[in-house]
Structure 1
């Protein structure tokens, strides 16, 4: 299909097709709407990739089709409008996996994960400041200066060296600790750095958060920017800080972070509570349901590389329990297939009890 034919096709506007297949070349998103354009600087290098994390989540090759046409349209709308995607559905249905599907299919690099608990605050997602570590580093630096200035034979020798070669003395002088060395950007803070292409941020289980966190997110999700107050007050104009990407640092100017491309934000919720209307207005909703029998069989084959004998019976048992109103995860099914299809496993007696345990109703607490 030519580029012109693709544009006129019914789904030619889509950039995401839910295949999970890595692209041969970078997939470029269309220009954002005028109200979602940002001008962050300086431009950061392209993020690292993490193929092993994607392999654990998705398995090799293309993913099993789980999204219908309407769901794929919703994902594309979120991508093109630069709006967060709020995904709801039962636990273990594959909500967080969608972030990895998007990242792999669009070639957007490593997924940044922000796992929410009841104590999580907005600042946890933006950045942390190791104030204690900085205080200890400053104390050690000041102690080093006192030792260098102490009288004695060594001090006299250093003074003589400094008089002979002042430049050499400056090179050997210990510099004070830099504030940026003690700042680490969180997953949300890293995702909002000015990259040439959007990062993928997974905000997992937001419904477990404190009641204020969704409202606290409103400003950041709307403006695509935030300040690091400690750096704003610092005398230096620029600072190099740590990020959530292992071993990667970023340069900030005047303590401010603003994205250039708004990140692909995938927010998951198990539906344990309702979110404020102001928060929901900024997100596009997507509800996922339990996969069909054919989809489950395909998922097993994709993760295990084959469809072992007995898989169909386990899939049927899994679906019966889900349809009976229980809470079950796709991980349970994969674990059951992996264990029970190993050579020598006996499906009766104690083996049957093991299957019952692996496919237990998670809502019952045992």
Structure 2
């Protein structure tokens, strides 16, 4: 394939690993028929978050850490609308790739789902503040009773407690958990269910955007053993339901999203994407994933950058190459080759520290550098 075919707007290679923001966001190749979705209503374009990208990538040029094979794997994931499963040592820059893709393709703010051992699929999809909603309804009903004729007899804490109990028990409540007997038409409307539902990072990424969102699922290997299998249905179908909204009488609900001050309209309690998100899943290799999960992902293994790439990384983050950088990079590379576990953050911290005004690299200063470049596998 010629260079022109590789870089043309209709070519399948739209990502080149530069991390440079585009003048005009490039169109993505058309999805295969089995990965097309019909979510509605279309959501507004997501916000951008350049500050987060600068923290991850630095203010300068992105270090060219990906080779041709790795870049092709990313492009294949973009074309096939499949998640990327990125493995490699801790601190090598796996999660950074999500920000490189987002900035280079102009896809806006990256949604992050940081996995811990207690993470569940529902955590990634949505959260329902049932207690907050019950309290809001109780306070609303108490206010109505207090404003009615003879209100003092039906107001105050006792009324609030009684209203809260009726919401929880649902004895005489309507489909929204509200007692119809205390809802006069000329009074303030009851709390809306959507106000107490917030879509998680995965749930927000699956909203029907015209261009895909970038979702970072960080350190999935730290999850409970069931989470990868639980993800299969959502990743395959690009959709999910919010049972609380499905049961609600209202046909539509405006809910909160994982974006700052973000809101989205959900119809009939079901969310389906229009463009499958760019899903970047990272793993430190602490355990194997089920075959059914792995076959839905494209594997990408990142390796430690070489000396020249490390020097370029320092320049990209600091905007210069301070005196003594080469020596620190050589020491860092030597420690890795000797079998140690090290993070790129350690190198950046050491270079930054040694350029601080008045810092002396000899004596006590040398001990501090040793501490910054310590072997992380030794636990101290």
Relative to the length of structure 1, the TM-score reads 0.92
Deviation (angstroms), 1:9: 7.0
Correspondence for 1:92: 91
1:6 aligns to what?
A: 4
Which among 163, 166, 183 is matched to residue 197 of structure 2? 183
Give the deviation of 1:325 after TM superposition: 1.0
- 1:119-147 deviation line (CA, Å, top 9, x unaligned): 00000000000000000000001101101
Change (3 A) 1:22 1:206: same
* Cα deviation digits, residues 134-173 of structure 1 (max 9, x gap): 00000001101101213279xxxxxxxxxxxxxxx956x2
**Deviation per CA, 1:273-300, whole angstroms, max 9, x where unpaired?**
0000000000000000000000000010
Paired position in structure 1 for 2:336: 322
Give the SS at the match of 1:132. Answer: helix
Q: 1:108 maps to which residue?
A: 107
C-alpha distance 329-30 of structure 1, shift in aligned 2 (>3 A): same
1:111-150 alignment, distance < 5 Å: 111-150=110-149
**2: CA distance, partners of 1:311 / 1:365:** 26
Deviations 1:215-272 (A, max 9, x none): 0000000000000000000000000000000101000000000000000000000000
Residue 161 of structure 1 corresponds to none
Alpha-carbon distance change, 152 to 17 in structure 1, aligned in 2, over 3 angstroms:
closer
Residue number in structure 2 paired with 1:156: none
Shift of 1:343: 2.6
The CA distance in 2 between the partners of 1:69 and 1:62, in whole Å, is: 18
- 1:333 paired with 2:347, answer yes
Quote the residue 2:360 is aligned against: 346
User: Secondary structure of 1:55's partner?
Assistant: helix
Residue 298 of structure 1, aligned match among 289, 305, 312: 312
Secondary structure of 2:340's counterpart equals: coil
Aligned with 2:348: secondary structure?
Answer: helix
Q: Distance in 2 between matches of 1:303 and 1:191?
A: 29
Q: Which residue of structure 1 lines up, in the alignment, with residue 293 of structure 2?
A: 279
Q: Distance in 2 between matches of 1:226 and 1:89?
A: 31
Are 1:21 and 1:61, in contact at CA under 8 Å, matched by a contact in 2? no
Q: Is this contact kept in 2: 1:59–1:303, CA < 8 A?
A: yes
SS in 2 for 1:32: coil
SS of alignment partner, residue 265 of structure 2: strand
Pairing 1:165-204 to 2, within 5 Å after superposition: 173-204=187-218
* RMSD between aligned residues: 1.8
Is the CA contact (8 Å cut-off) linking 1:201 and 1:265 kept in structure 2? yes
Of 249, 260, 268, the residue aligned with 2:274 is: 260
SS of the residue corresponding to residue 333 of structure 1 reads: helix
Which SS does the other structure have where 2:323 is aligned? coil
Q: Structure 1: how far apart are the matches of 2:249 and 2:7?
A: 56
Contact residue 113 and residue 203 of structure 1 kept, 8 A: yes
Contact preservation (8 Å) 2:60, 2:317: no
User: What secondary structure sits across from 1:240 in the alignment?
Assistant: strand
Among 298, 301, 313, which residue is 2:327 paired with? 313
1:208 has 2:222 as partner: yes
Gaps of 5+ in 2: 153-183
TM-score by length of 2: 0.89
TM superposition shift of 1:26: 1.5
Counterpart in the other structure of 2:242 = 228
Q: Kindly state the Cα deviation for residue 323 of structure 1 after the two structures are TM-superposed.
A: 0.9
CA distance in structure 2 between the aligned counterparts of 1:355 and 1:99, rounded to whole angstroms: 30
Work out which of the residue numbers 254, 259, 262 in structure 2 matches 1:248: 262
SS in 1 for 2:29: coil
Q: Which runs of 5+ in 1 are unaligned?
A: 154-168
Distance 1:8 1:89 in 2: 28
Q: Which moved more, 1:314-323 or 1:280-289?
A: 314-323
